[in-house]
A and B are shown apart, each in its own frame.
Chain A
Amino acid sequence: MGRRRRRRVDPADAARALPEAIAVLTRTLPTGPSPETFRRAKFDRPEAAPALWRLLFCVLSPMPADGASPSLALEAQARSVKAALRFQGYPRRALAQLPDDGSQGGRELLLALAWLLARGPTLEQLLAQSRVRLGDEMPVCECESLASPGPAVPSVEADGCVDTRHLQWLMGKLRFRWRKLMASQQEQCALLGKIHSYTRGCHSDRSLGHLSVTETELLRDPEGGQQDTVLGACPPEASQPAFLPEIPAQGAAELELVVRELQALQEELQAAVEPRRAAWEARVGGHGPEWSASRRALQEAVRQDLVALQWAWERGGGLTQPHEPHRLVRTEAGAPEGRGLQATEVIEVLRSREACLEVVLGQLQGQCQQELARLVGTLPGLIWIPPPGR
């Protein structure tokens, strides 16, 4: 627990730099408290405490892009801040002992803020959230869309008849939406391509070479409609490409939680599986060579499926880049490879994933057909004419 040796900074310099730093922080931080609030917090004045609690709440809980999170009461925010700091490993007990009503603790909170800023990429994350993204962004992974719950499944009445025509209608709508989506994505690509090739050579950053749509708009119409961005206030490294923050320490804490939950679930499942398996085997019974042969065949089939799944996952999951969207950059043929992902790599990965999904789709469709045929067989007097294959 020794104190880290730092370069010796002349206290006078530090004192002079501080107001400027506070001023920048004020502009940068969401719900930026005024420099006066910072000063009062330093002297632990109670009127500064709520502002600091709110500030820490914003810093610690990532805001959704559209700022749509409902505003919590100060008390709830204070408790949330304490919990979050605890997760992050904040050492000072004095903060944990502050009252929940958010009426005190300006100084402790300042210390906590400083701790956060010093230890992790907090400031960069905040900037990343609130700044205008200059590049033409292309999502690289599907994690977000896979994790989202999707639209609500329309409920079917308990014994309601479903008119097949309605289902066919919906299916057709889905197909049309798909085709429209393809067309509009092609349009987007065509237009991006035009802008990228027209603005070749215009970018100050040689590794990028051309402008993005946003940058072109900014050049065309510097006043128009863009909010006063943080980057605008920052020193002129504004032509830097998209800033990819590292995986935040916060993520690690949540991951920790999820891991523990999964372990608990696994134990639960194992405990539940054993008696069921025993009961099943007792019911199915059967010994003898025929039974054990078919059982081995089943086990082998399952093993192969698992191997295929794993292989597909590892191949498909080959992208080791972080999951944030990437900036789209167009290079000339024959130019040296730039940093970042190559489009060909991504296409390759997507194609192999597509192939896997097609196989799965085919299997599922086959299963559906079999199930339908079986169901139809149980209805007397019904003739099943499957549609002609395309």
Chain B
Amino acid sequence: MSIVTVQLGQCGNQIGFEVFDALFSDSHCPQKFCSKRENEAYQASCKERFFSEEEDGVPVARAVLVDMEPKVINQTLSKAAHSGRWKYGQHSHLCQKQGSGNNWAYGYSVHGPRHEESIMNLIQKEVEKCDSLSGFFIVMSMAGGTGSGLGAFLTQNLQDQYSNSLKMNQIIWPYGTGEVIVQNYNSILTLSHLYRSSDALLVHENDAVHKICAKLMNIKQISFRDINQVLAHQLGSVFQPTYSGEGSFHYRRNPLGDLMEDLVPHPEFKMLGVRNIPQMSENSLAYSTFTWAGLLKHLRQMLISNAKMEEGIDWQVRPPLSGLPTLGKMPLSKELHFNTSIANLVILRGKDVHSADLGAFKDPALYTSWLEPVTAFNVWKTQRAFSKYEKSAALVSNSQSLVKPLDMIVGKAWNMFASKAYLHQYTKFGIEEEDFLDGFALLEQVIASYSNL
């Protein structure tokens, strides 16, 4: 089953390119421990999901590119075309001549309705190319102008027009010390709108990925390209094919649907994060060997201590003693040391994957009281390694890890809102104080729900 990706704005388009590139590279990566037949099935599955075929045999990404400026889209299109390995569809993009100056309201109220028909037509064309549609990825920044306002508008439209299809927004969480003054306003509006119309919000934090680049990949001058590549690697390791069950030899047909059913069935809990292990530069890869036990031990600790990478993990954090229910709301002033999960999905790829022992992830202490580990914890496996990593594990979790960042953003935005700073930019284009208040209320509710696990 296929996924159609909508790439929005500079951020969305640059990341989208890296994602397709990572998927393609991985599926054509020479494999040492995998039979030819299995590798072919893997490639076919990846291809059907993310690419369609044109007459000249070059795979075409199932994507629609949207930006209000032409520069980034043109760069993206030509980068793909020049690689010769895959490309974007000739007519799968929409760009305008003018920008929107990081104005969320302009993106939502002006660009959105103005280009609604054209964009939905492009999407419809992509959908028609699929034998069956699993759902949509919408890649966008949370705090920018075009990407975020337009993205919120589009996601609502997709909800109306493709109500049975699944929607996952890949959201780029801005740097805490971002440059845009109104980025917190934008974030509030984006998140509150998406929470209503999307099925899942997979959050990628710029700060976290930046640290991975610096500490793990040893990159001196970190560019956006480096960040995007790490991000793409994470996404690829989640959505590339996996077996549909223990002992099965078929690749699962609808990973997006399975993921959503496992992680986000509750309407109040839609925020997901992804962690990956190991992450390192390719040079170091050749000199490292890993065991499943080691990888999983680190991954588990990363989860419960809310670390985003395998270096600098706080090993002091332990699960609370079982039998003590967490009653009442935990005041946020108290440090949330332990990251309680609602549900987790671990994805294992590589050699001897069947020998991996996941018992530690099934500990009820990791999870909230109203879900048992048998429901809350899921694992996907495949023997086929990902990219050049002989063994790798990814963890997608619905947990408290985003509560603190979210609370910070809400706090800062509220302070600004209380003094009515910069509101005219929004009210000028139809986003009233009411809308802000709605957004605050919804996000406070989300924070409360997650804190109350």
* A and B associate: yes
| A180–B257 touching, CB < 8 Å | yes
Q: From A175, which residue of chain B is reached at the shortest CB distance? A: B265
What 1/0 flags go to A160-195 for Cβ under 8 Å of B? 000101101111110111011011101100110010
A177 to B1 alpha-carbon distance, docked (Å): 15
| B266–A165 touching, CB < 8 Å | yes
| B266–A168 touching, CB < 8 Å | yes
Interface set, chain B 149-170, CB cutoff 8 A to A: 164-166
Q: From A177, which residue of chain B is reached at the shortest CB distance? A: B261
| A179–B131 touching, CB < 8 Å | no
A182 to B134 alpha-carbon distance, docked (Å): 10
Of A173, A175, A191, the residue contacting B131 (CB under 8 A) is A191
| B164–A182 touching, CB < 8 Å | yes
| B132–A186 touching, CB < 8 Å | yes
What 1/0 flags go to B248-263 for Cβ under 8 Å of A? 0000011001101100
Q: From A179, which residue of chain B is reached at the shortest CB distance? A: B164
| B166–A187 touching, CB < 8 Å | no
Q: Is residue B315 contacting chain A, with contact meaning CB distance below 8 A?
A: no
| B1–A172 touching, CB < 8 Å | no
- Chain B residues, CB < 8 A from A170: 265
Q: How many residue pairs, one in A and one in B, have C-beta atoms under 8 Å apart?
A: 62
Q: From A190, which residue of chain B is reached at the shortest CB distance? A: B131
Q: Is residue B109 contacting chain A, with contact meaning CB distance below 8 A?
A: no
- Chain A residues, CB < 8 A from B166: 176, 179
What 1/0 flags go to B239-279 for Cβ under 8 Å of A? 00000000000000110011011001111100000000000
A173 to B370 alpha-carbon distance, docked (Å): 15
A184 to B264 alpha-carbon distance, docked (Å): 20
Most chain B C-beta atoms within 10 Å of own C-beta, residue among A165, A170, A177, A194: A165
Interface set, chain A 180-231, CB cutoff 8 A to B: 180, 182-184, 186-187, 190-191, 194
Q: From B342, which residue of chain A is reached at the shortest CB distance? A: A169
Q: From A185, which residue of chain B is reached at the shortest CB distance? A: B132
| A183-B1, A184-B132 known; A166-B254 Cβ under 8 A | no
| B133–A183 touching, CB < 8 Å | yes
| A163-B370, A176-B261, A183-B257 known; A168-B1 Cβ under 8 A | no
| A171–B131 touching, CB < 8 Å | no
Distance to closest chain A CB from B396 (angstroms): 15
A194 to B369 alpha-carbon distance, docked (Å): 48
- Chain B residues, CB < 8 A from A182: 164
Most chain A C-beta atoms within 10 Å of own C-beta, residue among B166, B258, B370: B370
| A176–B257 touching, CB < 8 Å | yes
| A165-B370, A182-B164 known; A172-B266 Cβ under 8 A | yes
| A166-B371, A187-B1 known; A180-B265 Cβ under 8 A | no
Q: From B264, which residue of chain A is reached at the shortest CB distance? A: A172
Of B132, B267, B268, the residue contacting A183 (CB under 8 A) is B132
| A166–B261 touching, CB < 8 Å | no
Of B131, B265, B369, the residue contacting A163 (CB under 8 A) is B369
Of B133, B253, B267, B370, the residue contacting A172 (CB under 8 A) is B267
Interface residues of B (CB under 8 A from A): 1, 131-134, 164-166, 253-254, 257-258, 260-261, 264-268, 369-371, 375
Interface residues of A (CB under 8 A from B): 163, 165-166, 168-173, 175-177, 179-180, 182-184, 186-187, 190-191, 194
For this complex, 25 residue pairs linking A to B, each with C-beta atoms less than 8 Å apart, are A165-B266, A165-B268, A165-B370, A166-B371, A168-B265, A168-B267, A169-B375, A172-B265, A173-B261, A176-B265, A177-B261, A179-B165, A179-B257, A180-B257, A180-B258, A180-B261, A182-B164, A183-B132, A183-B134, A183-B164, A183-B257, A184-B132, A184-B253, A184-B254, A187-B1
Sample of 4 more A-B contacts, CB < 8 Å, known A171-B265, A172-B265: A165-B268, A172-B266, A175-B265, A183-B164
